[in-house]
Amino acid sequence: MPKSLLFSLFFLLSIFGFSQQTIETDTLTRTANINYNTQGNSVEFKPETPELIQIAGAPKAFYTYHWEFGDGKYSKEKEPKHIYKDKGEYEVKLWATNNYDNGKPPTTRPKKIAVTNVPEDYQDVASMDEDFTLKRNREPVPDQEMVTIVSYKNTKEYITNGKLYLFYNELKYKNDNFELIETRTHHNEKDISDTGFAYSHNIDDDRTYLASINNDIIESSITIQDSTEKMNLPLSIQESQSIYKNWSLLEFDNMQPNEERNIFFSLKTTPEMIKDTSAIISVRGIYVPDSNYDNHKVKDMEMEIVTSHDPNKMSSNGTFMNYRFVRFKTLKYKIKFQNNGEGPARTIRLETDIPEMLDKSTLEVTDMYPKCDICPKREVLYSCLDTTFTEKQAIFTFKNIYLPGSEQKNVKEYDSTKGFVKYKIKFAKDFHKKKTKSRTAIIFDKNEPIITNYSTTRFLPGISIGVKTGYNSFSDLNNSDSYFIGATVSPYKSYRWYWQVELMNNFHSYDSDINVLEEIIDDAQGFRFRQLTTTSSSYENIDWDIPILLKYNVNNFVGLGVGLQNTISISEKRENAVLIEQFEGVFPDAPVINTISDNTSESNSFTNLRTGLLFEATAGFSRIGPSLGARYILNFEDNFNYWQFFAIWKF
C-alpha cells in the first residue's frame, strides 16, 4: 500500500468533527405601531400589531406587551392608561412579544408624547409590595433584545442615597449570555461601573438602647430583621464576582421616603447562546438603600434561553455537565405553564419524564406557583400540590387551585395566569454517560395536554488519562524480547463508541536471520578452496508507537477496538558480525585452514517508519479502572506482525 495513502487514512481517522445548531434567519421584518389618545395628563395607549403566524399544533398565538412611558413608569397591559405627573415631552417605547408565533417579535419605533396640562391634585400611587424586584418582559431568545426592569423603593423614614448593582453573564458559560446595549434611567441615577466598589463597613440595625442604674445596657426596642437583608456587602460583591463576568453599578440620590423608581436595562442575547437553549441562566441585582451602611438586598432572576416565545416550557441547570463530578451534583428543573383559556383552571397536572440516570426517590419540590402546601396522603379540600410517580414519570398535580386564564374577563395582571414547579433531583448510583432528554405534558382541568420542549442533559467529553504496560510477541523474529510502557488519552468513561490515542515507548531487542554464503575460491597460486561467509546482525531499538483507535464498549467489562498504528525507531543500534571460514580444498569434510572475523556497529535515529492495522479486545473495567487486553498488529512490512499483551489502568 502506498505510504501517501496510509498517511491520508491516518489523518482522516485522527479528525473528529462536531456539528452545531445554527440559527435560521428570519428575513421578514414586522413592525408594531403606538396609537394614543391624550386628555390632559391622562394618555390611553393602544398597540397596532402585525398578524400572528400560528405555530402548527401549538395553543392559540397571542401577544404580550411591555410599555415604557418615558417617566420611569411601565405597564404590561395591552391597552394601558397612564397619568403623567409633570408637564413635558416623553418618549414612549413598546415591546410586543409574539407567543406561539413563527416569526420574530415586531419592532416598534418610539413615539414622542407631549403633556401640557397637569391637575394640581395629582398623587403617586404605590405599586410595589417589596422594596427591590427584578422583572423581565420576555424570555431570552438568541440574537433578540430583552428588557430587565430593576425596581427599588425607599422604605426608610428619611431621604436616602444608595447604590444598585446588576450582575450578568455567568462564568460557567464559555460564551457571554448577554450584551448590555442600553440603560434607561429617569431619576438622575449615575453609572459608576468604572469607579470600583466602595463599602462603609457600618451596619444599620435600627435599635435604641437605654442606660440603667446598674450600668447594664437595655435594648428598648427591637426591629425584626428582614431575612432577605444581608449585612456583609464586601462578601456579597465578592461572591457575585465569582459567579458573573460583567456588572453595572449605578448610584442614586435624594430618594424620598416610600418613593418607587424603575431602571430599564436592554440586554441582547448573543447568537452563540443557541447551543444552550433550555438552559437556566440568571442575572443578579444588589440594592444598597443607604450608602452610609452596608445593609443590602440580593435578588437573583432565573431565565430560560428559548428559541421561540412559549410560556409552557421545561428547563434545567444541567444542560452540559462534567461526568467525572456528577455524583456530587444535584440537577434542578423548572416547569413553566400558562393558562391561556377564557376561564380559571382548578386542577393542573404536569406529567414529567424522569430519565433513567436520575433517582426518583431523591426528587424534592423546592418552589411552586400558585403557592400552596404539599398534599397529605388523605384527601383535603384546600389547595395543595401532589407528587406521584410512575415507572418513568413524576406527576405533579395542583389541586383545588384558582389560576385565571389570559383570555378571562377582568384579568389585568398577565403574570397571574402563569405558574411553575421547581424541583431538584440527584443522579442514580450507576448510570451511563449518554445524552438524555425529558419533557412535560401539561393538562389544565380536562383539556387536551400541552407538550413542552425537551430539556436535555449532555455530558462534556472529559479526558481520561491511562497508563499502559505489556509485552510484544514477534513470532517471525529471532530471539525477540520487547517490553513497553506508555500513556493513553480518551474521553472520560465513554458509554459505547469512543476514540483513543496512545503513545507507547518500546524497548525491543532481536536478531536478524543468519546468512551463509558458500563459495569456491581460486587463489593466486592456482589452488582451489571452499569458503563460507556467515553474516548476522542483532538489534537494540527504542521505538515509539502511536496508535489511533476507534473503540466500542460491549458492556461494563468487555471492549473491542480497531485502528491504525504508526511506529518509528527513535534509537536503533545494530551489531553486525561477519565470520569467514576458508577450508583446505573443496571437499565437504576438509579442515578449516583460516578464519577471519569482523564485528562492526552502527547507530541511527528516527528511522524505519512503519504503519499497520490493529485489532484488540479488552476484559476488565472497560470504562474506567484496570483491564487486561490483547492486540494484533498487522504491519505492512515483512516480519513485523506481532501480538501485544497488556495491562491498562484508566483514570
Q: What is the CA radius of gyration of the chain?
A: 39
Could you tell me if 318 and 294 lie in one domain?
Answer: no
C-alpha cell at 636: 505492512
Distances in Å between the alpha carbon of 429 and those of 426, 623, 624? 9, 16, 15
CATH number for 231: 2.60.40.1510
Residue 125 exposed, middle or buried by CB count within 10 Å (0-12, 13-18, 19+): exposed
CATH number for 566: 2.40.160
What average pLDDT does range 139-150 have in this prediction?
Answer: 92
Q: What percent of the chain has pLDDT over 70?
A: 88
Could you tell me if 189 and 302 lie in one domain?
Answer: yes
C-alpha cell at 643: 501480538
User: Per the domain annotation, does 23 fall within a domain?
Assistant: no
Return the amino acid letter for 190. Answer: K
**216 pLDDT band (50/70/90 cuts)?**
very low
Residue 109: its pLDDT value, please?
A: 94
Could you tell me if 280 and 136 lie in one domain?
Answer: yes
Residue 278: its pLDDT value, please?
A: 66
Pairing of the two strands 107-108 and 31-39: parallel
Could you tell me if 187 and 237 lie in one domain?
Answer: yes
Residue 2: its pLDDT value, please?
A: 46
Q: What is the mean pLDDT of the chain?
A: 86
User: Per the domain annotation, does 184 fall within a domain?
Assistant: yes
User: Per the domain annotation, does 8 fall within a domain?
Assistant: no
User: Per the domain annotation, does 459 fall within a domain?
Assistant: no
pLDDT at position 72 over 90: yes
Could you tell me if 544 and 420 lie in one domain?
Answer: no
- pTM, two decimal places: 0.64
Are the beta carbons of 417 and 406 closer than 8 angstroms? yes
**429 pLDDT band (50/70/90 cuts)?**
confident
pLDDT tens digits, residue range 272-312?
776 666 678 899 999 999 999 999 999 999 888 887 778 88
Range of the domain at 494: 464-650
Could you tell me if 293 and 434 lie in one domain?
Answer: no
Task: Supply the DSSP string of 552-592, one letter for each residue.
Answer: EESSSSEEEEEEEEEEEEEEEEEEEEEEEEEESSSSTTPPE
User: Per the domain annotation, does 178 fall within a domain?
Assistant: yes
Could you tell me if 523 and 385 lie in one domain?
Answer: no
pLDDT at position 201 over 70: no
Are the beta carbons of 436 and 457 closer than 8 angstroms? yes
Number of domains within the chain: 4
What average pLDDT does range 586-601 have in this prediction?
Answer: 87
Could you tell me if 202 and 132 lie in one domain?
Answer: yes
C-alpha–C-alpha distance, residues 454 and 435, integer Å = 12
Give the angle 591-593-595 at the CA atoms, nearest 5°. 115
C-alpha–C-alpha distance, residues 570 and 606, integer Å = 4
C-alpha cell at 179: 450584551
User: Per the domain annotation, does 21 fall within a domain?
Assistant: no
Task: Supply the DSSP string of 379-436, one letter for each residue.
Answer: --SS-EEEEEE-SSEEEEEEES--B--TTSTT---GGGGEEEEEEEEEBPSS--S--E
Residue of higher predicted confidence among 318 and 549: 549
pLDDT at position 137 over 60: yes
Residue 22: its pLDDT value, please?
A: 40
The candidate with the shortest Cα–Cα distance to 296, out of 158, 131, 185, is 131
C-alpha–C-alpha distance, residues 487 and 492, integer Å = 14
**118 pLDDT band (50/70/90 cuts)?**
confident
> End of a domain among 306, 340, 372?
306
pLDDT at position 23 over 60: no
Residue 224: its pLDDT value, please?
A: 33
User: Per the domain annotation, does 12 fall within a domain?
Assistant: no
Could you tell me if 179 and 217 lie in one domain?
Answer: yes
pLDDT tens digits, residue range 343-388?
899 999 999 999 988 999 999 999 999 999 999 989 899 999 999 9
C-alpha–C-alpha distance, residues 403 and 414, integer Å = 11
Are the beta carbons of 561 and 551 closer than 8 angstroms? yes
Q: What percent of the chain has pLDDT over 90?
A: 55
Residue 197: its pLDDT value, please?
A: 62
pLDDT tens digits, residue range 447-496?
889 999 888 888 887 889 999 999 999 988 889 999 999 999 998 888 88
Could you tell me if 470 and 424 lie in one domain?
Answer: no
> End of a domain among 306, 321, 337?
306
Could you tell me if 441 and 551 lie in one domain?
Answer: no
Could you tell me if 242 and 317 lie in one domain?
Answer: no
Residue 243: its pLDDT value, please?
A: 95
pLDDT at position 501 over 80: yes
Residue 325: its pLDDT value, please?
A: 77
CATH number for 422: 2.60.40.740
Pairing of the two strands 320-322 and 296-304: unpaired
**207 pLDDT band (50/70/90 cuts)?**
very low
User: Per the domain annotation, does 97 fall within a domain?
Assistant: yes
> End of a domain among 257, 291, 306?
306
